[in-house]
Structure 1
């Protein structure tokens, strides 16, 4: 019985790891090519996330989620062409295109419209963040911090167990896994300082980025629980949907955009 329970804990590990390698290879290719290819990759991911999110709230009409996903993809491409790669996020009139899908969703989603507008805006801000960061060392470190937090939390949570972090929203998450994610991100931040990619001040934000990612994961879990589904879709074996895989990165990227925007406004004032 114990052996059976132990093996069930790791039953999703093989498809999870294989899918992660495939996704990493595709993302690495887009990052390496850069330019419009990278922007199109980000737009596709955000479009799929919007499609899945709209399906959660409006599963009865297939064309509405598809339309909103396409609107999100177009919004990222339009807004991305108006992004400056200078430090901080520079807002231009093209950034208004980010809210194309959220506003259209307010008209097309009959129930939970405020929920749709709020979380879909977070998804779009995250896409803006990925485009603004751009392909390069900073993006790689950002992704590594989120991945390290997820992996450390996954193994620590299953090996150590213990009290649940937020049992009503996400029953599987434990405090041991959550804290392990912060520690893992902090270690990566210190490695970044040692390798010359980060300043010590920047490294302090690594656990905060990990925490924002964890909150992104929690937020998406709360939405799925609210609508009564386990996964946002079944597109990715072992992970569920694209939104299930990128929820942490969406939370972290949106937080980085907001912090960067606030910092820019403070410095300008």
Structure 2
């Protein structure tokens, strides 16, 4: 089985499971499942960071990641932040090294807050996740095939040698078109196109962001969890960046609506 076939089959199976779960499972079950995904992300990011700062990964980080993700999605952002900071300080004091404090906080920041943003989107509207998937999955697919067929100019050769400017342009166009049709299909307000357009850019930044971390620690993939795709973070790095954009746009629009009603 060649690499492209592995990637395709893995993507189809994962996408089918995710879509079925969102449609048929209650909201609280979806959010608990996202917390479990967060644990896997925490595992991967801390294992990557451990290559640079030995001893940073411990099994305890998985429990802290799970609890802080549940706190963020069900209770309070500030409770999640408190859990993370207290644990990070506790571990850093034992080493008496500021590097441990910054690395641990960053590991939770990336491994918890970004994936958990998907659960916060569920609270707004389950169907919003389908708009997000349309934007990201179409963008990733377009980037791959346009880059393969027409790619000449390297986008960021130090971080990701295979990515091209042509592929990035194809990704942007594909994401915006797919997002537009998804927004129309589900009947969302037109302001969501702002989220679609901004995320069409930043989802590519999300991919490069994770590539930067992997290059810094000398790793090709975040793990070998998914055949043909590497780790979970390798698969959802763009998705979680785009989901944060959607949440930011939603929050800003709500604040503006409140301000105009005063």
For normalisation by structure 1, the TM-score amounts to 0.81
Task: Decide which of 57, 74, 77 is 2:49's aligned counterpart.
Answer: 57
CA drift at 1:187: 0.8
In structure 1, C-alpha distance between the alignment counterparts of 2:184 and 2:136, rounded to whole Å: 19
CA offsets, 1:208-240, max 9 Å, x none? Answer: 112221111110000000000001111111111
Alignment partner of 1:207 is 2:197: yes
Alignment partner of 1:121 is 2:109: yes
Equivalent in the alignment of 1:76: 69
CA offsets, 1:108-127, max 9 Å, x none? Answer: 47656535523531442223
Equivalent in the alignment of 1:86: none
Change (3 A) 1:26 1:101: farther
In structure 1, C-alpha distance between the alignment counterparts of 2:139 and 2:173, rounded to whole Å: 8
Equivalent in the alignment of 1:6: none
In structure 2, C-alpha distance between the alignment counterparts of 1:19 and 1:165, rounded to whole Å: 26
Is the 2:56–2:100 contact (alpha carbons within 8 Å) kept by the matching residues of 1?
A: no
In structure 1, C-alpha distance between the alignment counterparts of 2:240 and 2:156, rounded to whole Å: 20
Change (3 A) 1:125 1:170: same
SS in 2 for 1:81: helix
Task: Decide which of 31, 35, 39 is 1:43's aligned counterpart.
Answer: 35
Is the 1:122–1:251 contact (alpha carbons within 8 Å) kept by the matching residues of 2?
A: no
More moved, 11-20 vs 240-249: 11-20
In structure 2, C-alpha distance between the alignment counterparts of 1:216 and 1:119, rounded to whole Å: 15
For normalisation by structure 2, the TM-score amounts to 0.83
Q: Where does structure 1 lack aligned partners over 5 or more consecutive residues?
A: 1-9, 83-93
Alignment partner of 1:104 is 2:97: no
CA RMSD of aligned residues (A): 2.6
In structure 2, C-alpha distance between the alignment counterparts of 1:259 and 1:189, rounded to whole Å: 15
Q: After the TM superposition, which residues 236-247 of structure 1 pair with which residues of structure 2 at under 5 Å, given as runs? A: 236-247=226-237
Change (3 A) 1:17 1:234: same
More moved, 247-256 vs 115-124: 115-124
Change (3 A) 1:192 1:30: closer
CA drift at 1:128: 3.6
